[in-house]
Amino acid sequence: MAGFRSLDDAERVEYKFKSSVKGREAEGVTGPCGAHCQGSKRRPKPKHRRRANRCYNCDELGHYAKDCPQPPMPKRCHHCKSEEHLVADCPFKQTQGSGQADTKSSDSGEGASAGPKPDVT
């Protein structure tokens, strides 16, 4: 059984090990006298934990926003928490690396990528 990760109860094996950055690793694992290893039929349980259901509306655990008993919260800017605008239009958000306020022109019909941006290094 190539690539097994665990042995069957009371299974005897022979192996060599090598040292690596991960510690000692077994290699060349065989049964006694080079026989084939059986390996375990059981598989180890995954090590990841499930997160609790968190509601994005009321921030409580145990349910999702679609099932929230509270009325929907007003949409807010994720940057400054204002209910007047969303993060894409936040006047307090600065463009990455330039130090200037991020402004968009809504009357020109063009988006933020209207022209080439200067190379700032």
Residue 54 shares a structural domain with residue 82:
yes
Is residue 17 one of the residues assigned to a domain? yes
Q: Do residues 94 and 102 make contact, with C-beta atoms less than 8 angstroms apart?
A: yes
Q: Which strand (E) or helix (H) includes residue 28?
A: strand 23-30
Looking at the domain assignment, is residue 72 inside a domain? yes
CATH of the domain at 3: 2.40.50.140
Question: Using CA atoms, how far apart are residues 76 and 6, in angstroms rounded to an integer?
Answer: 51
| Residue 56 in this model has a pLDDT that exceeds 60 | yes
Domain extent, residue 19, equals 1-41
Query: Would you say how long the chain is, in residues?
Result: 121
State whether 32 and 53 are in the same domain: no
- What is the mean pLDDT of the segment spanning 75-84? 90
pLDDT at 20: 83
pTM: 0.31
Number of domains in the chain: 2
SS3 (DSSP) at 24: strand
For residue 57, being part of any structural domain is answered with yes
CB 40 within 8 A of CB 32: no
The answer as to whether 65 is a domain residue is yes
Residue 106: the pLDDT is: 45
Considering the domain architecture, whether residues 2 and 25 belong to the same structural domain is answered as yes
